[in-house]
Each structure stands twice: as C-alpha cells, then as structure tokens.
C-alpha cells in the first residue's frame, strides 16, 4: 500500500513539472470555450430546446473546458504504451506489485496533476465573463456536493476505461489505429463533443446503455440543475456499478495479457 | 538454490511472406512457425556463485532469464528458486531478486535518480535505517555522489547503468540477474562495473547470473559458464576446463635474423621473411625455442594463447551454430 501511495505522489509531482504544457492547454481550452459559447449563442437565438437551457449549456461548456483533464478519453499514456511495445514492461513484472493497480495509479495521478494546473484559471475566467457567456454558480448546495462526488467517480471510471484501452496494446502489434477510432467514438457518445441532451434521439438512447456519459456529462448537468437530485442519485449508483464492471473487465484482460505475454527483443 | 529441470519454452511466430498476394492470403489463413527458444535445459546454481550464461544471439539466453525472473512461464519443466516457483508466486518471489536488463531502463526517466531509489524503498517496504545504510554503501561503491540528484534522462549511458545496478540492489536481493549489463559501455565503465559486481558477490554473497556477449566480462567475473545455442545446453562447467577442452592452443612467434633450414615436425601457420608463426600443438615452448636458438639467431619470441572469444567460436563451430 505504501508503495502505491508513494508512486501516486511521485507521479503527481512529476506531472506538475509540465507547466508550459499547462499554459498552452489553458489557452486552447479558453479558445474552445469561447468558440463553443458563440456557436451555442447562434444556435439558441432561433430555437429553444426543452432538454437543456442556454444558461445550462454555457455552464456545461466552461465546466467541460475547466475539467477537461479529468474527462477527456482521447489521451494516451505514452510511457505505458511504449513499455508494452518495446518490452520495458519486463521491469514492471519483476516488482512486487500488481501491474493493474500500478498503471491505474499512474493514469489517475497524471489526470489529477494535469487538472490541478488548469482548472482554476478557466473557472475564474468563466465566472468573470459578462452575462450571456458567464459560468453560473451551482444550482444548489446539494447539487454542488453531488457534482463533486460524480466528478470524482467519473474520473475513477475514466481511468478504468483507459486501462482497458491501453491493455489492448498487449494484443496488437500497432495499437494506434484501434486507439484513435475507439477514443473518437467514445468521446462522441460521452457528451464531450456535443452534450448528451443535444444528441439525436437514437444516439441519446444508445448513450444510456453505455458508461461514457457518466464521466463528464453527468456531473456537469448535476451542477447546473439540469439533472435533478433524485435522478442524480440514481446515476451515481449507476457510476458505482459501471466502475465495478469496467475494473473487472480491465483486471481480467490484463491477467490474460500477462499470462500469454512474451517480451520481445533484448 | 536455483534448480532448473527440463525446462522448455516455445514461441508461436507468425510467418509472413513477402508480396501482396501472400499478405492478402494471410488474412484468411495464417501460418505459424514454432520457435524452440529454450529446449530441455537443466542446471542448478548454488548460493554465492557467479555464473556466466552465454550463447550467440537468439540462443535463448534472455528467454531463460525471463523464466528465472518469473516474467515468463515455461511450457514444460520446473524452475524452483529456494523452493519457490517464480511464475506462480511472482510477487513473493521478486522481493528477493534484483534484475538489470542492459537494453532497458528501470528508472523513471522524468524524475531524479534519488527519487527513483526512494520510490523503490517504498515498493519493497525497506526499513528506513536499513535503506539509508544500503544506499550509502551503493553510492560510495559506485561513486554516485554527483549524479544522484540528476534526472535520469540527463545521464550518460555509463552513469545510468551504474544507477540501474544500484536500483537493482537497493532491496538487498540474494540473487542478481544481469542481462547484458555492459552493452554499449566504454572500457572504463566496464571495468568499474565488473569491479563492483565482484565486490558485492564477495561481501554480500549475492548469487549472480550474467548474460553477455563480451567474453572479457566472463573472463573477469565468473568461474562457471553455461553455454547455450539454439535453445540447448552445450556446456556447463568451469571456465578453465572450457579453455582446456576447446582452446588451449598456444602459438609461438619467432623473429630471427637468418634461418637456413626450418626444423622438421613443426607446424607452421604463417611464414614471413624473418619471422615464423608456429602452432605449438601441445609441445613445450621452451623445447621449440631452444631448437631454433641452435640453428639461428633468435631476436625475439612471442607466445599467444587462445582468448575466450576464440574458444567460444570453436565451441559454436563444434555444434554447427
């Protein structure tokens, strides 16, 4: 346990080294935030959508940009993939820890440190922006608490999903194709590109059978009150269930991979 | 201590032929070929030994090391180290071993060396006082004082390899596996590394299993060698016996001023205007020299002994590798 904790701290600190990347990321996120705001303004000026109001959408946009590090699926961990491809993973196997936990911690620490470097300035900007584009305060205190809980659970779920995607590298020679395609599709049905309430009905129905909307879409809509407390509690329960399912899949996938692994070269 | 009995490992390798037609065909029917990386190998190693494990590229050295370290599961046969099955009880087993793969790095590339060591302390749950003592020892033996606070990515290969060795020993393992530890190192680093390996073997009684292509490593370090080729064990025994059986050829070079007639019953390898290279072929060198002294004016003599590279080549030739 102490080893895992120590590794988390080390990875978290190492992640905080990348300040230039964080500044670059910040600027990108602010740009996208403003762009999305303008698009939705144009969109909402002619229509009204009963599922989600303009104010809720703007809040969604800024939260999405502020917490992008915690919810964005399409980020590979180059160290992990490289170690699988070039065989450095051999070293991980001569250590007294379980590889699943180890890599999970690396992913989680990376996400948290990356988020810590970015979310403050974006939230601040969102709050000080003038009226139509400004980030609203949480709908209620209970909504805010549930938002925090579901955001944390969403991040835990995301790392579990990423573990499955990364494990695939054990089974293929070139992971890049499968990685890009699956991540794009998952981003689409997670509400990252377009919030789930704005998706076509058929796609919306599909998202409810998948875990991806529980990563970011759920917490952001709880925050703005778009999802009420009762449904929020049900969805948080659903997050727990999906976390267990995803972790069991990832764990057994890795077990299978390590059973048949052969390390090439050297 | 280490017991390996009739261990085999076969890999299934996809056969890929060239050409578009063959590539398309491979979509429907895949052909595999079976590579016997390790084929029925047995040996035992006692505590405190240094064993050199050598063989040509692709002989199965690394596969054996990976089975001994619990990374790979043998297809058949058994491996027991102090009674433990390395693969089945991997996490318990690895607490007691240190591993260095010369071509890979176990240090975290984006953090300073000392932080990697501290992390290893927590991974192996080493008592802090004990850790400090071991670290101090390793740092002074390997002269790491100046580089321990440098991020790993900024180290030279020689410096990094020293740190790799230190990292593999920080939890005081009783067995150390070194897979090509001197690959790519310059002469000074090699010597320093060898000295260190000898030292820890002597003072800490660490059992060391070493694979290498650099025969001078073996010459300097181990008294026992296991030679494998094409997955099979070819030789297991002392280095001196190997030298005697497969080498031991001494050559004599005589440089002279004027020679009228070459004595009979002498095997000549090379002849120039004023020198002769002779295969001694078991003869006493002083006898041969005195023969020459009697018939000509000998200016200088040199005796060459087969070095270990020649011996290994001889051995490979014998087994058609």
Q: Which of the four pLDDT bands, split at 50, 70 and 90, describes residue B321?
A: low
How many whole angstroms separate alpha carbon B220 and alpha carbon B307? Answer: 12
Whether residue B119 lies within 8 A of chain A, CB to CB, comes out as: yes
pLDDT of residue B35: 82
Q: A256-263 long-range CB contacts below 8 Å, 24 or more apart?
A: A257/A167, A257/A170, A257/A171, A258/A93, A258/A99, A259/B73, A261/A89, A261/A170, A261/B71, A261/B72, A262/B11, A262/B72, A263/A87, A263/A89, A263/A90, A263/B66, A263/B71, A263/B72
How many whole angstroms separate alpha carbon B240 and alpha carbon B230? Answer: 24
* Range among B105-119, B209-223, B267-281 rated most confident: B105-119
DSSP string, B214-249: -HHHHHHH-SEEEEEETTEEEEEEEHHHHHHHH---
Q: Which of the four pLDDT bands, split at 50, 70 and 90, describes residue A266?
A: very low
Does A138 score more than 50 pLDDT? yes
Is the Cβ pair A94, B94 closer than 8 Å?
yes
pLDDT of residue A265: 44
pLDDT (mean) for A147-174 = 91
Structure tokens at A153: 């659970």
- Nearest 5°: the CA angle A221, A224, A226 is 55
Each residue of B13-48: pLDDT tens digit? Answer: 777 777 788 777 777 777 788 888 888 999 999 999
Q: Describe the crossing of helices A141-167 and A217-224 by its angle, rounded to 10 degrees.
A: 170
CB A82 within 8 A of CB A227: no
E strand map for A149-213: none
Each residue of A63-98: pLDDT tens digit? Answer: 999 999 999 888 888 888 888 888 888 888 889 888
CB B123 within 8 A of CB A96: yes
Is the Cβ pair B123, A96 closer than 8 Å?
yes
- Nearest 5°: the CA angle A202, A208, A210 is 110
Phi/psi of residue B195, nearest 5 degrees: -60, -45
More confident residue, A113 or A49: A113
Q: Is residue A152 part of a domain?
A: yes
Does A156 score more than 90 pLDDT? yes
Domain range list for chain B: 45-244, 249-305
Q: Which of the four pLDDT bands, split at 50, 70 and 90, describes residue A145?
A: very high
Count of domains for chain A = 1
Q: Please choose, from the candidates B120, B112, B183, B184, the residue with its C-alpha nearest in 3D space to the C-alpha of residue B150.
A: B112
Does B248 score more than 80 pLDDT? no
Whether the complex's predicted ipTM is more than 0.85 is answered with: no
pLDDT of residue B246: 73
pLDDT of residue B128: 93
Is the Cβ pair A95, B94 closer than 8 Å?
yes
Among A16-20, B47-51, B270-274, B279-283, the range scoring the smallest mean pLDDT is B279-283
Mean predicted lDDT score pLDDT of chain B = 85
Residue identified by tokens 């080549």 is B313
Class for the domain spanning B45-244: alpha beta
pLDDT (mean) for A1-29 = 89
Each residue of A100-109: pLDDT tens digit? Answer: 999 999 999 9
Whether residue A172 lies within 8 A of chain B, CB to CB, comes out as: no
Q: Is residue A265 part of a domain?
A: no
Q: Which of the four pLDDT bands, split at 50, 70 and 90, describes residue B243?
A: confident
Whether residue B179 lies within 8 A of chain A, CB to CB, comes out as: yes
How many whole angstroms separate alpha carbon B148 and alpha carbon B226? Answer: 36
Each residue of B206-222: pLDDT tens digit? Answer: 999 998 888 788 888 88
Structure tokens at B211: 């694979």
Alpha helices, DSSP H, located in A67-140: 68-71, 78-86, 89-92, 99-128
pLDDT of residue B216: 81
pLDDT of residue B247: 67
Phi/psi of residue A227, nearest 5 degrees: -110, 125
Q: Which of the four pLDDT bands, split at 50, 70 and 90, describes residue A261?
A: low
Residue B278: strand, helix, or coil = strand
Whether residue B101 lies within 8 A of chain A, CB to CB, comes out as: yes
A94: nearest CA in chain B?
Answer: B94
Q: b vs e for A237-260, b when ≥16 Cβ sit within 10 Å of the residue's Cβ?
A: ebbeebbeebbeebbebbeebbee
For residue B136, the number of C-alpha atoms closer than 13 Å in the C-beta half-sphere is 6
Alpha helices, DSSP H, located in chain B: 20-28, 61-68, 90-93, 113-123, 128-142, 157-169, 187-204, 215-221, 239-246, 285-295, 308-318
Range of the domain at A24: 2-260
Share of chain A above pLDDT 90, in %: 48
pLDDT (mean) for B64-89 = 90
Q: Is residue A232 part of a domain?
A: yes
**Neighboring chain A residues of B123 at a CB cutoff of 8 Å:** 3, 6-7, 95-97
């Amino acid at each position: 346990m102490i080893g895992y904790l120590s590794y988390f701290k080390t990875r978290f600190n190492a992640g905080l080294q990348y300040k230039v990347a964080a500044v670059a990321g910040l600027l990108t996120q602010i740009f996208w935030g403003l762009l999305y705001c303008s698009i939705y303004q144009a969109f909402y000026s002619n229509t009204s959508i009963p599922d989600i109001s303009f104010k809720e959408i703007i809040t969604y946009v800024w939260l999405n940009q502020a917490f992008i590090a915690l919810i964005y699926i399409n980020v590979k961990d180059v160290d992990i993939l490289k170690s699988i491809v070039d065989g450095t993973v051999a070293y991980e196997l001569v250590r007294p820890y379980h590889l699943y936990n180890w890599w999970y911690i690396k992913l989680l620490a990376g996400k948290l440190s990356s988020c810590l470097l970015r979310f403050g300035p974006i939230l601040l900007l969102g709050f000080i922006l003038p009226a139509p584009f400004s980030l609203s305060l949480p709908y209620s205190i209970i909504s805010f608490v549930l938002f925090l809980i579901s955001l944390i659970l969403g991040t835990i779920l995301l790392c579990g999903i990423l573990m499955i995607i990364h494990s695939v590298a054990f089974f293929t020679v070139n992971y890049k194709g499968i990685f890009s395609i699956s991540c794009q599709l998952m981003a689409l049905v997670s509400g990252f590109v377009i919030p789930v309430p704005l998706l076509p009905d058929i796609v919306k129905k599909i998202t409810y059978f998948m875990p991806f909307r529980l990563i970011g879409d759920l917490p952001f809509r709880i925050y703005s009150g778009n999802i009420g407390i009762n449904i929020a509690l049900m969805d948080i329960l659903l997050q727990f269930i999906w976390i267990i399912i995803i972790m069991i899949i990832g764990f057994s996938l890795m077990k299978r991979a390590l059973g048949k692994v052969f390390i090439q070269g050297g | 201590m280490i017991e390996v009995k009739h261990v085999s490992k076969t890999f299934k390798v996809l056969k890929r032929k060239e050409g578009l037609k063959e590539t398309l065909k491979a979509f429907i029917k895949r052909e595999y070929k079976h590579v016997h990386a390790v084929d029925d190998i047995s040996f035992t190693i006692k505590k405190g030994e240094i064993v050199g494990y050598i063989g040509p590229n692709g002989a199965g050295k690394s596969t054996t090391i990976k089975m001994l370290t619990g990374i790979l599961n043998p297809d058949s046969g058994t491996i027991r180290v102090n009674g433990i099955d390395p693969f089945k009880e991997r996490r318990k087993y690895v607490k007691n071993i240190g591993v260095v793969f010369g071509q890979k790095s176990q240090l975290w590339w984006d953090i300073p060396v000392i932080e990697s060591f501290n992390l290893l302390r927590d991974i192996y749950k080493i008592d802090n006082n004990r850790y400090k003592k071991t670290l101090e020892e390793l740092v002074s033996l390997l002269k790491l004082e100046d580089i321990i606070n440098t991020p790993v990515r900024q180290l030279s290969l020689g410096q990094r390899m020293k740190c790799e060795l230190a990292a593999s020993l920080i939890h005081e393992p009783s067995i150390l596996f070194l897979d090509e530890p001197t690959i790519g190192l310059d002469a000074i680093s090699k010597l320093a590394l060898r000295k260190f390996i000898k030292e820890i073997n002597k003072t800490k009684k660490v059992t060391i299993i070493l694979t290498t292509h650099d025969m001078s490593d073996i010459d300097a370090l181990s008294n026992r060698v296991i030679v494998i080729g094409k997955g099979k064990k070819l030789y297991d025994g002392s280095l001196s016996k190997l030298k005697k059986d497969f080498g031991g050829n001494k050559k004599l070079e005589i440089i002279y001023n004027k020679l009228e007639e070459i004595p009979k019953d002498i095997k000549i390898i090379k002849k120039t205007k004023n020198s002769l290279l002779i295969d001694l072929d078991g003869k006493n060198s002083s006898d041969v020299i005195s023969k020459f002294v009697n018939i000509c004016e000998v200016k200088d003599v040199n005796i060459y002994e087969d070095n270990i590279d020649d011996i290994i080549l001889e051995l490979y030739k014998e087994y058609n590798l």
